[in-house]
Amino acid sequence: MNLDQFRETLEKAGITVFSGGDAARIVGKPPGYTKLFLYRLAKKGKILRVQQGIYCLPGADEMEIASRLTYPSYVSFLSALSFHRLSTQIPIAIQVASARQKTPVSFGNTRIEFIKLKRQAFFGFRRYGNAIVAEPEKAIIDGLHVPGHLPLSEALHALKDETLRTSALCDYAQQFASAIVKRRLGFLLEKAGREPGETLKGRPTRYALLSPLLRKKGKKDRKWMLIVNEVLE
């Protein structure tokens, strides 16, 4: 199999991002031969090396690349909301929820960052084309769980969109089994003009911060037992 035949095989199969192992199966040769084969292919510019052992065809979708760099993983947070066209901001990096720590990857003009989540949190995502992306409701829950990767203002903006399912938001918050995520979600749902329902209400005895990234200063919301330390419109 020559270089052009290999690329044609990938394109016919709808594969744009692949590993060295994928290539070995296609070429039908040992790993050593395949590694040299891929090196020559990259040198001619027919494929691009993303990181060690991962390659893509020129023009491959950035979201697909990002969701293939570690397993299990999926694109989430602000990046997912932007993908679903529910954000007013353009992320400066693609944010990937990952089951393990991984250093950021820079590929061309794209930076891919990895945010570690517990394996129990790996739900609420699906395949869009060849990319694995969180459903918008899950992206919001992830953002409320790991502050700093999804501005609360952007979460509120998305919650005002009628396409988001309140039932899915509450179900995902329940699965996350985090009391503070439920309280933050309940507060934001009310702020967005939605009925949060009974499943988000608990019996907390201490106030928590709406945004743990800001100072402990603001009005106290007794219903959700939150210190509202960020102004949201």
pLDDT 10s per residue in the chain (233 long)? 777 888 888 888 888 999 999 999 888 888 889 999 999 889 988 899 999 899 999 989 999 999 999 999 999 999 999 999 999 998 999 999 999 999 999 988 899 999 999 999 999 999 998 899 999 999 999 999 999 999 999 999 999 999 999 999 999 999 988 999 999 999 999 999 999 988 898 888 899 999 999 999 999 999 999 999 999 98
Q: Which two tokens stand for residue 113?
A: 């960052």
CA distance 210 to 183: 9
Domains annotated on the chain, with CATH: 3-56 (1.10.10), 62-228 (no CATH)
pTM score over 0.75: yes
Query: Residue written as tokens 């035949």?
Result: 5
DSSP 13: T
| Secondary structure (H, E, C), 56-71 | ECCCCCHHHHHCCCCC
Q: Provide the b/e sequence for 64-91 (b: ≥16 CB within 10 Å).
A: bbbbbbbeebbbbbbbbbbbbebbeeeb
